[in-house]
Amino acid sequence: MHTAFVMNMLAAEHGIKKMTTDQSLAEKVQQAIDMKTKPPGSLGAIEALALQMAVAQKTENPVADPARLLLFAGDHGLVEEGVSAWPSEVTAQMVLNFLAGGAAANVFARSNNIAISVVDAGVMADLPDHPDLYRANIRKGTRNALKENALTLEEVSAALVFGEELASDEVSVGTRVIALGEMGIGNTSSAALLAHAIEGIDLEILTGPGAGLDGEGVNKKLEILKKTAQRRPGKLKPMDALCAFGGLEIACMTGALIGAAQANAVVLVDGFIATSAALCALRMHPELADNVVYAHKSKEPGHKAMLEALDAKPLLDLDLRLGEGSGALLAFPLLRNACAMLNEMATFESANVSGKEE
């Protein structure tokens, strides 16, 4: 089977875009994958993932380790309108839980030997100093997007720069995979509004229960989001959408994706909220798509539409809806194993195994 045909077939089947960054490198890596002791294409998405990671990292021998989860936290002024089942204070409380090592993200990170950096992107509380806590120092929470723009252009720009520098600094000290996660009461509303504004996806599709709204609560949330969207109608560019609807953690994640990808790292995107940041980043920089891996399809109903807009197929579908980067951490072993397959698996020649007859 021809190398280019296998490469493009796997990319199409598993939602990974055709490699454009370095066609010569991609062909070499695909040839190496095809020579492993297996029928071509028999490892499916793992082969496509190994190829994608090699192209992203610009090497024939990609690696998944070391990896780091950047967990961005921020609050949303729109919460005062009743779009969440939880009060904004929970954001700060969960940040303290992350720093104490007690959240799901901490448990999954420890089991995968992944470090976590927690980022106060815009939490409406005074958090204590901690060696794993980074502060964006932009503002404490966004404004109420129903009444006014959530952020100014200067604030969005500062968040993008902060995230970009944080991620690129991590890559500069050897980190090869950056996982993106978040915490922010009300941020499913911000993510839904961003996807609606940037892609034109209906809010009825994008609006879900978030962190536990019942049916009545979802209906109320939808009405509030419709009113909020009417304040800035029509399609918006990513910068304008972030200004209109926030949030700071999403803007910081957007910058982090750009910074990590431009530094030739692989970016492992978590669920609904993190994918809204990927949407913002890739509409700004579509050339970075080869560097982005989507960890899972969230149970949040709008995530499927957002992934389809990005022409992406996630690695897992486990009915997750927690956030925190939890899905990215669960998917990470697939990245590690994809690299191991490419780097360690015997070839037909080295194992003295006969190849397929022509």
* Active-site amino acid positions: 324
For residue 247, give the nearest of 128, 131, 119 by alpha carbon. 119
At 122, which amino acid appears? Answer: G
Distance, CA of 197 to CA of 123 (rounded, Å): 24
> Chain-centre distance of CA 45, in angstroms?
18
- What is the per-residue DSSP string for 188-202? HHHHHHHHHHHH---
Distance, CA of 183 to CA of 92 (rounded, Å): 9
Query: Which residues, including other chains, have CB under 8 Å from residue 167's CB and lie 6 or more apart?
Result: 70, 178, 255, 256, 257, 258, 259, 260, 263, 265
Distance, CA of 242 to CA of 245 (rounded, Å): 5
Distance, CA of 274 to CA of 156 (rounded, Å): 16
